Amino acid sequence: MRLEGKTALITGGGDGIGRATAHLFCEEGAKVGIMGRTEARLHDTVEEANGPGEITAYQGDVSNEQDVKRVVNEFYNKHGRIDILFNNAGIYEAGTVVTTSMDVWDRTMGINVKGVFLVSKYVVPLMAKHGGGAIINNSSVLGIVGMEDCVAYNASKGAVRQITKSMALDHASENIRVNSVCPGYIKTKMDPEFMGNPPDADEQLDKIAADMIPLVRRAEAVEVGHAVLYLASDDARYVTGSDLVIDGGWTTL
């Protein structure tokens, strides 16, 4: 087991990539804490888990400093250390620079960027106290390339990549590795939301992927989870400041 004896905190753990990664970490022996805003989704993640590890749910909003402090402290007090942090929580709302409202801009930046900042702010000192750890930030291929009608999301995911590089430099001397993953078309609820949730969203997305992705398909959430697992494990002990792109070849075109 690659994470036996390790502890891991995952934000946005109620569904999608967060849920898949929490389950994978549990199978690999980790003691996992999942943070999210929706209690029912967190409960489902816990109930569906298998493996020798364990998962504990913590309801909270990553853009709320008091929630972040509470969850980080509760998880740390329960396990006595935090070895791995996966800053996964994120939202998408459509809009150009003209049509995006201030509420959408602030909400996107609050969760996608401020959330990474806040959780890292309170986890890093605890990691350093126990000799280091691994932080993985969930960016996106849209932090690398542009796409129309999603200016706030594009901006937020580009910011996550730059936060990752800054943190990698700032905390290398504390033996804290910081990397990002940049997923492309993944089978989660975000891509249908991107399209406005039409009834045939999955069929449309599969056709888009077949037309534009060299591997001609969308990825399963757990395929991103395996990339996160690699970066979290000792297999990646000399990897920091990197962006691991998981896009089926999209950004090579």
- 237: pLDDT strictly greater than 90: yes
- 141: pLDDT strictly greater than 90: yes
Percent of the chain with pLDDT over 70: 100
Residue 77: count other Cβ atoms within 10 Å of its Cβ: 8
User: What is the arithmetic mean of pLDDT over 58-73?
Assistant: 98
| Average per-residue pLDDT for the chain | 96
User: What is the arithmetic mean of pLDDT over 47-54?
Assistant: 96
User: What is the arithmetic mean of pLDDT over 13-21?
Assistant: 97
The beta strands (E) that lie in the chain are given as: 7-11, 31-36, 54-59, 84-87, 133-138, 176-183, 243-246
Runs of H (alpha helix) within 102-240: 102-109, 115-129, 151-171, 190-194, 201-212, 221-232
User: What is the arithmetic mean of pLDDT over 36-60?
Assistant: 97
Confidence (pLDDT) at 198: 82
In sequence order, the β-bridge partners of residue 219 are 186
- 160: pLDDT strictly greater than 90: yes
What lies within 8 Å, CB to CB, of 69 at 6+ separation is 122
230 carries an active-site annotation: no
100-135 tens-digit pLDDT = 999 999 999 999 999 999 999 999 999 999 999 999
Q: Are 182 and 139 in contact (CB under 8 A)?
A: yes
Confidence (pLDDT) at 199: 85
Q: Which of 153, 185, 230, 238 does the annotation list as catalytic?
A: 153
- 195: pLDDT strictly greater than 90: no
Read off the pTM: 0.96
